[in-house]
Amino acid sequence: MERQIVDYTDYADIINKALKEGIFLTTKAGEKINTMVIGWGHVGRVWERPVFIAYIRSNRFTRELLDQNPEFTVNVPVNGFTKQAFTICGSKSGRNMDKISEAGLTILPSETISVPAIKEFPLTLECRILYRQEEKVEMLPEDIQRKFYSKESAPHIFYFGQIVDSYMIK
């Protein structure tokens, strides 16, 4: 498998546009690997470091894995995607199933961190968490609270992941 090292800033617009449809965030703790579809995120610079900021609801299995291993990959579909992968990884929990196998995805070893990349979504950012912040829903305007947070909805945790490697899988 070949990888082409890329400058994440050259792909920031592609990443931001892909977020509208959904991109994948992959985690690993021990032997358990999980991926989920995210639609909220940002790529840029904070504290003079390249970062990807991900927003993960506090009740997600992904959050449990991030608590055990503060690393993640961002996997961006640049050549389209299969509806099956988005349906499974966007609506099922990895607590009870192996979403990667069910979705027919192929994991590949990363270059720098312990969390794998996904072959089918070749634009990959490898990230280590620099900072996390729990969301205070009561601080949001009421219209946002009504639209995105019901009484049953868990708040998000904001994860600032330093981008330690970025590449395109060939």
H/E stretch holding 101: helix 99-102
The confidence score (pLDDT) of residue 106 equals 95
pLDDT tens track of the chain, all 170 residues? Answer: 799 999 999 999 999 999 999 999 999 999 999 999 999 999 999 999 999 999 999 999 999 999 999 999 999 999 877 788 889 988 889 998 999 999 999 999 999 999 999 999 999 999 999 999 999 999 999 999 999 998 778 999 999 999 999 999 99
The set of long-range contacts for 148-155, using a CB threshold of 8 Å and a minimum separation of 24, is 153/57, 154/57, 154/58, 154/59, 154/60, 155/57, 155/58
Domain that holds residue 16: 3-169
Q: How many domains does the chain have?
A: 1
Distance CA 30, CA 13 (A): 33
Q: What is the CA radius of gyration of the chain?
A: 15
CATH number at residue 83: 2.30.110.10
The confidence score (pLDDT) of residue 14 equals 94
The confidence score (pLDDT) of residue 153 equals 86
| 17: CB partners within 8 A, 6+ apart | none
The confidence score (pLDDT) of residue 7 equals 97
